[in-house]
Each structure stands twice: as structure tokens, then as C-alpha cells.
Amino acid sequence: MGAHRKRQWQGAVDVTNGPSQWTTRPPLHHARVGLASATVKGQILAIGGFDPNMEPTFDFVETRRRTGDRTWHDLVALPTRRANLSAADLDGFVYAVGGIPKEGQISDAVDRYNPDAKAWGPSPKLPVGRAGAGVVGLNGLLYVAGGELPSTGPADQITDSMITYNPTNMTWTPVTSMPTKRTRFRLVAARGQLYAIGGFSEAGQALATVERYDPGSHSWDTVASMHQARVLPGAVVLRAGQRRYIVVVGGGGGQPETSQFKHLRTTEVYNMDTDRWELLKALLPHGKISLVSEVEDDSTVLAIGGAVAAHGGSATASVDGLALTDHDLGQH
């Protein structure tokens, strides 16, 4: 996601054989869940979040290079500390959008990071605060979809609405709503379209469904569902020649607030040409939810932070990498 790029960064997959396995990377300095991430000018950023055993929410921002040195370094702090925020690169800047500053509040803050100046600055606020939204930059616009809106009732309102921010005129504009109200899902961009993946439904069910938005026609349609329902997984887009793949990692599945709600160890790959999901054999060392994913060295998917089931659902600083091969992508 470099300067002047109008689409989400997409890595190129190396030609290798055999199935891949997860391996360990240098950890974050700060264990956390509910964080956001983005890649800009060759730098991966891990932004905000929280630790359930600590107060308050975090303003920590850490960075490491996408290639070369894998060590994380602290950056200037986020101006507005929050968790369950979302972030994306747009034209060489990173936007940190919405989130939860503390329990019972939903933020309308939008902070913009300039990697050249290594500084955060304010950006026009959201029309209404959102948490757990999907955010992505595409063709000069920042898209913000779904999530939770403030409500006067006992629970926050899960929305299907989507808005765009145009940095040229600094305005927010509503566009076509998603078919499904969802929160704590992932939104990615590939081949000029958006994909809304998983999350919680309005009824509180974990979703396996995936919906696709075409900015040209301002319309949504439904594509193949994942094999497993996933709440707050990691999600990235990879490129292999002319092919495009969406990779979704971990997340929570099953029935929330029951013993059947699992921290998933699995990874799925979506082939846009065949409209099919492939469940990989490679398993995360531990089930993770509320993690984020970015891409390292062109073909390696990272699972960054999150909550680990093996530790009672506590926050982790762990970072794991999966170097995808032709075998994983169904090209063997």
C-alpha cells in the first residue's frame, strides 16, 4: 500500500511446492486484542487495541518492515486511544477509524498517519461513531461499512450501512448498504471490488457468508460462503500472476457465549476465478480471535496479536507467518 496507490496492496505468490506450515515471527511489544492494522510504504502498522486484564484501551502503535527486518518498533502514539477500531491505507496515508475508547462509548474519531512525517493528524470525523466496522481504501475513496452504532437501548445497533470518505473534498457520503447487517467482520478490496467477510449478524450469530460490492454499479451480490463462520479473523489479499486470492485466518466460530464458541486455528483461501473456498491443512499454533493479518515478503500471511484460546482467551503479542505455496492455492 504505497504512496499514490489507489488499491489495497496485494502481494505476489512465489512458485513453490508442497503445503505450508505456520512459523514464529518476532512478537509485538504489547499483547493486545481488538487492534487494527495497515501496510503503507513498506511498513506494517499495528494500531490500538486493548488487553482484557488492563485499563485503559491502548494508544500504542508499532511498526515493522514488510520485507527484511522483522523486529517491531514503537511509533508515535495514536491521538485517540481505542479498541475495536479499523484501519486502512489510502493513497499513502493510514486512516484509523472509529472504535471503543472505553466501555459504553463508541468513537467517531478518524486519525490519519503520514509515514513521511511520521506523525498522526486529525481527519474529518465519522458522521456517526462506529466500532467493529470494515474499512478499506479503493480508487481514491475510504470505504467504511457495517459495525456497531451508538444506541439509546441496552445494546449498540448493528448496521448494514456503508459510507465513503473522499480526501479531495474531505466529505463523507452514504452509498449502497450491505445485504446483511454485520459487525466485527473484515472488508478487503480486490480486482476493483469489495468483499465483506464473516463477523456477527444482528442476531449475534457468527457468519460464514461473504458479500461483494461493485463500486461501478453500486450493487452488492453474494459469493460462496466460507467453510467456517468467523468473527474477527485476519484477512488479506494475495496475487499469483493474474489470479487473486483472499486469505482468512483464525477468528471465532460457533455459538457466542457458550462452550461451543471456538478460537479457530484454521485458514481458508478464496479463489476469485472459481468462487470456491479451500480449507488449508496448516493450523495456527493456537486458536486466535480478534487478530489482524498483513503480508510479508510477498507471499507470507501474518497472524498478528489477538486473543489465544490456549491462555484462557487472554491477549497475545505473538506473530505467526504462513508462506503460501502453489499447493495451498490449488495450483499443484
| 37 domain residue, yes or no | yes
| 78 domain residue, yes or no | yes
Q: Given pLDDT bands bounded at 50, 70 and 90, which one contains residue 241?
A: confident
Amino acid at 20: S
| 3 domain residue, yes or no | no
* 172/242: higher pLDDT: 172
| 331 domain residue, yes or no | no
pLDDT at 42 over 50: yes
| 239 domain residue, yes or no | yes
The confidence score (pLDDT) of residue 331 equals 58
pLDDT digits (tens, 9 = 90+) for 275-301: 999 999 999 999 999 999 999 987 899
pTM assigned to the model: 0.92
pLDDT at 18 over 80: no
The confidence score (pLDDT) of residue 299 equals 84
The confidence score (pLDDT) of residue 256 equals 62
* 278/330: higher pLDDT: 278
Mean pLDDT in residue range 151-155: 77
The per-residue pLDDT of the chain, averaged, comes to 91
Using a 10 angstrom Cβ sphere, with 0-12 exposed, 13-18 middle and 19 or more buried, the burial of residue 133 is buried
- The enclosing domain of 201 has a CATH number of 2.120.10.80
| 1 domain residue, yes or no | no
Range of the domain at 30: 11-323
- SS percent in the chain: helix, strand, coil, step 5: 0, 45, 55
The confidence score (pLDDT) of residue 9 equals 30
| 201 domain residue, yes or no | yes
| 238 domain residue, yes or no | yes
pLDDT digits (tens, 9 = 90+) for 114-145: 999 999 999 999 999 999 999 999 999 999 99
**Tally of domains in the chain:** 1
Query: CB-based contacts of 176: which residues, under 8 Å, 6+ apart?
Result: 162, 213, 218, 219, 220
